[in-house]
Amino acid sequence: MTSEEKARLVVQSADAKQARDMTLLDLRGVTIMADYFFICSGTSTTHIRTICDAVVETMKHSGEGGIRVEGYSGAAWVLMDYGDVVVHVMAPEQREYYKLEEFWKDAISVETSEMLEIESE
């Protein structure tokens, strides 16, 4: 599966659980760390875990189950590493404080709505 296909699945599964303020950053050409960073917010620790659970389940069904997860128990900032796609599900306060989008400002911001349109075609 390509990194773009993984990113699309992540966006779709997070959107299905009403993730807030979804941002997909294309890091290709900026870093070798990953091809994409997906960043979104949840409204509570339960919501954050629900989004994470949906992403994990979707990726497992697609054959991309091997990941590393950090922060799930606290659910203020959960990081899921799929190698070329890294997922950040954050509480709004954490997101405002760490400002990942500003740190990676040289990355191209991909319209998440484009990832969702393909699903409905």
State pLDDT tens for residues 70-112: 999 999 999 999 999 999 999 999 999 999 999 999 999 999 9
The domain total for the chain is 1
Range of the domain at 86: 3-113
Element (H, E) at 86: strand 85-90
14 assigned to some structural domain: yes
- Give the pTM: 0.92
Asked whether residue 119 carries a pLDDT value surpassing 70, the answer given is no
Any idea which residue has 């890294």 for tokens?
86
Closest CA to 104 of 20, 27, 22: 27
17 assigned to some structural domain: yes
